[in-house]
Amino acid sequence: MLSRGAEQARRIAVVEPHVLQRHRAAELLGTLPPVRSVDAFASMADLVARMRGSERSTWPHLLVVDPATGSGAEHDLSAIAAFRAAGMRVVVLSALDSRHLIRRITRAGVDGIVTKQDPESELLRAVVRVLAGSAAVTARAQAVIDADPAPKLSGQEARLLELYAAGRPLASVADRLGVREDTARKYLKRIKLKYDAQGRPAHSKLELAWRAREDGFLDPAAFGSVAF
């Protein structure tokens, strides 16, 4: 739990591309007693540029962010990972309308997840909990996460599906996973069997890529560029 003195020194940054939502989020967060300042940015790149030119003692303690989708997703998620490694806590405020983004967000291990369909009070409650050192996922966000249509895959199986469905040869995938090619082939067979058990055939590489796209393992924006 934060001490009373520490609570009065909390700084928050909001990253939200939509002007009205960005300003409203900043306004709301500024009403919290533990918060001293709220800075708002249109993009993660804007926040990073500001931080590069400032003393670390002025960096935000908490980031409330709507991560980009499509071509900007990789940059935003990499930045989130870097910020968390530096000790910053992160709350995602998102529509959660992309299964691919949901999968990436949960893998990133953020501290809180709030949907844009949640009431404002839920956002404030989540931020207070995260500032106090706890995790916070709203009931609505958890329901969206739990509605995952994919079969239950191990970490290695999920990573293999992402790489293989994106068009990489199995030998290359095995190398990336740090396993033998015959082991990767066993993972692949298990994945196909799990999809078959759902009544969703994934026998060919093309079918597997479609399943990966449907379930968010493959970025829909990149699907058209996948070579088979």
pLDDT one-digit tens code per residue, 143-193: 999 998 999 999 999 999 999 999 999 999 999 999 999 999 999 999 999
pLDDT digits (tens, 9 = 90+) for 18-53: 999 999 999 999 999 989 999 999 999 999 999 998
Q: Where are the beta strands (DSSP E) in the chain?
A: 10-15, 35-41, 62-65, 89-94, 112-115, 136-137
124, 112 Cβ separation under 8 angstroms:
no
State how far the alpha carbon of 119 is from the alpha carbons of 6, 50, 90, 105, in Å: 27, 30, 19, 21
Q: Quick check: 218 pLDDT over 50?
A: yes
CATH of span 4-146: 3.40.50.2300
Q: How high does pLDDT run on average in the chain?
A: 90
Q: Quick check: 220 pLDDT over 90?
A: no
Provide the β-strand partners of residue 40. 14
Instruction: State residue 4's pLDDT score.
Output: 44
Instruction: State residue 136's pLDDT score.
Output: 98
Of 225, 201, 223, whose CA–CA distance to 213 is shortest? 223
Higher pLDDT, 218 or 220: 218
Instruction: State residue 108's pLDDT score.
Output: 84
Confidence label for 208 from pLDDT (cuts 50, 70 and 90): very high
pLDDT digits (tens, 9 = 90+) for 57-90: 899 999 999 998 766 778 888 899 999 999 999 9
Confidence label for 222 from pLDDT (cuts 50, 70 and 90): low
Instruction: State residue 28's pLDDT score.
Output: 96
% residues pLDDT > 90 (the chain): 75
**Strand order from edge to edge, sheet including 62-65:** 35-41, 10-15, 62-65, 89-94, 112-115, 136-137
Instruction: Please give the average per-residue pLDDT across 6-11, as a whole number.
Output: 68
Confidence label for 223 from pLDDT (cuts 50, 70 and 90): low
pLDDT digits (tens, 9 = 90+) for 108-148: 889 999 999 999 999 999 999 999 999 999 999 999 999 98
Q: Which CATH number fits domain 155-221: 3.20.20.370, 3.20.20.70, 3.30.70.100, 1.10.10.10?
A: 1.10.10.10
Q: What is the pTM of this model?
A: 0.82
Number of residues written out for the chain: 228
Residue spans per domain, the chain: 4-146, 155-221
Q: CA 58 to CA 101: how far, in whole Å?
A: 30
State how far the alpha carbon of 156 is from the alpha carbons of 72, 145, 200, 211, in Å: 25, 20, 21, 17
